[in-house]
Structure 1
Amino acid sequence: MEKQPLVLSVVAAGNTSWPRYRICDGFNRYWAGTHWSEPGDEETGLLYANSNEACHEVQRLLMLEYMDRPCRTFEAPVTIRLFSNEKITRGQLIDWLVRASKLLMDPKAGNGPLADGALGLCVIDWNKIREVRRQGEEGDDGGG
């Protein structure tokens, strides 16, 4: 039988006043930290305090699955247009972006551009953010 690609999802757990997240695979098994649960055994799955923590673990698990393959790197710009009457520092912007933004990949689309054998991991490094100024515009000096 041909090995199926590992497809993982971050699923909501807990409730609105105590939101938590779990990692689930395509066979409805949940990640327990060292092994996968039996299918449907959600309670065995680790609870993550926020979706970012769960997403980082998903990337780690996928990297373990694909790390023996060659890797190519691509970059695509992400633009943030910030409107404010108040001065906002680069640090304040990064803090807000880390809390507010999520880059989600639809697990139904697979792990990469090929049906199997490819993994595409998307990462936003907000610490590399820089302000783009057009002629005549004022902006933050990039500090703090």
Structure 2
Amino acid sequence: MSKEIPMITLIKKGSKAFPRYVLAKADEFKNAVFWNGTTWSDESEAILFDDVNKALWTHHDLLMETLSDRPCHQYVVPVYVEIYGDKPKLNDLRAWLEKAVRIVVESPKHGTGPNETFGVVLLDAERTQSV
């Protein structure tokens, strides 16, 4: 377990009408550095994401790189979605879930995981099915 786990932050930029996002973390001197698509650099070189989902998947990929040498234990936590009205097409529901649902983990308040572990919560909207 050699790699230190970075606390990567999604920062909202732009305006309400045209939101944009950058990814940042602190370097070894606690200075902010920003993801430019290849490495961490100053803010002027940061990738400016126009799609929050793309930014979040990039965040996830960067985080997973630092966790790759650790054992992984997966759990399934049922979450039920109730849709009232006409039944939507499954692909439309999946697309909506991918865009609309955000799962918040209050790491500053409760830690990154039980017993010094690091928990990653992932919504797999593609596996959504009717019950």
TM-score (structure 1 length as normaliser): 0.73
Deviation, 1:67, is 0.5
More helix, by proportion: 2
Q: For residue 136 of structure 1, what is the aligned residue in structure 2?
A: none
SS in 2 for 1:52: helix
Q: Is the contact between residue 8 and residue 107 of structure 1 (CA under 8 Å) also seen in structure 2?
A: no
Distance 1:13 1:63 in 2: 25
Q: Output aligned runs, 1:46-57, within 5 Å.
A: 46-57=47-58
SS in 2 for 1:68: coil
TM-score (structure 2 length as normaliser): 0.79
> What amino acid maps onto 2:120 in structure 1?
L
> What amino acid maps onto 1:70 in structure 2?
P
SS in 2 for 1:96: helix
* Number of residue equivalences: 124
Alignment root-mean-square deviation, CA: 2.2
Q: Is the contact between residue 13 and residue 22 of structure 1 (CA under 8 Å) also seen in structure 2?
A: yes
Q: 1:99 to 1:5 in 2, by over 3 A?
A: closer
Q: Is the contact between residue 5 and residue 63 of structure 2 (CA under 8 Å) also seen in structure 1?
A: no
Where in structure 1 are there 5+ consecutive unaligned residues?
133-144
Q: For residue 98 of structure 2, what is the aligned residue in structure 1?
A: 98
Distance 2:124 2:23 in 1: 23
Where in structure 2 are there 5+ consecutive unaligned residues?
none
Q: Is the contact between residue 9 and residue 107 of structure 1 (CA under 8 Å) also seen in structure 2?
A: no
Q: 1:52 to 1:113 in 2, by over 3 A?
A: farther
